[in-house]
Amino acid sequence: KDLIMSIKENYFRLSVMSERLHCLFLEVIKNELAQMNIRDINSVQCIILYHAGNAKEKLSIGEFIQRGYYMSENISYNIKKMVINGYFIQFQCKDDKRCSYVKLSQKGVKLYKKIQELFKKQTHDLENYGINNSDLIKLNEELGNIEKLMKGINNG
């Protein structure tokens, strides 16, 4: 019984900590944007931009969701703002006028490279805290398993 309580408490603690880590991650990006005097994009949009840069191809709004790059229903709003502010170039699909694709503009590529540098700096910080790549691989595998469980619970 104590073991089950322990698992339950640790599972809850993990959920709370995941949320806190995500919020802190967004805050770090927000602070970096402020230091770079960039005010026309927010931290959530930076994450979307980073995924688009990693994909190195044009993406539809649906692909951002299918690939797990974004989970909220306001992806259209964020992408529209990023097009308006010049981070994305938008293309209409030739076969289906209801569908469009986006890719990074020159302004988007410039910010993408700055975000890459930020993450590179943070990886050095992780190493200074004794966290190495194999630790992160294992942690990501475990979190992936929990995500699969949660999706199963949600769909079942």
Q: What b-and-e string marks burial along 99-126, b requiring 16 or more CB atoms within 10 Å of the CB?
A: ebbbbbbebbeebbeebeebeeeeeeee
The answer to whether the CB of 54 falls within 8 A of the CB of 68 is: no
Report the range of poorest mean pLDDT among 1-10, 16-25, 107-116: 1-10
Residue 3 has a pLDDT of 64
Residue 1 has a pLDDT of 55
Whether 150 shows a pLDDT value over 60: the answer reads yes
Write 11-17 long-range contacts (CB < 8 A, 24+). 14/146
Q: What's the pTM?
A: 0.87
Backbone angles phi, psi at 131, to 5 degrees: -100, 120
Whether 72 shows a pLDDT value over 90: the answer reads no
Residue 67 has a pLDDT of 85
Residue 61 has a pLDDT of 86
Whether 71 shows a pLDDT value over 80: the answer reads no
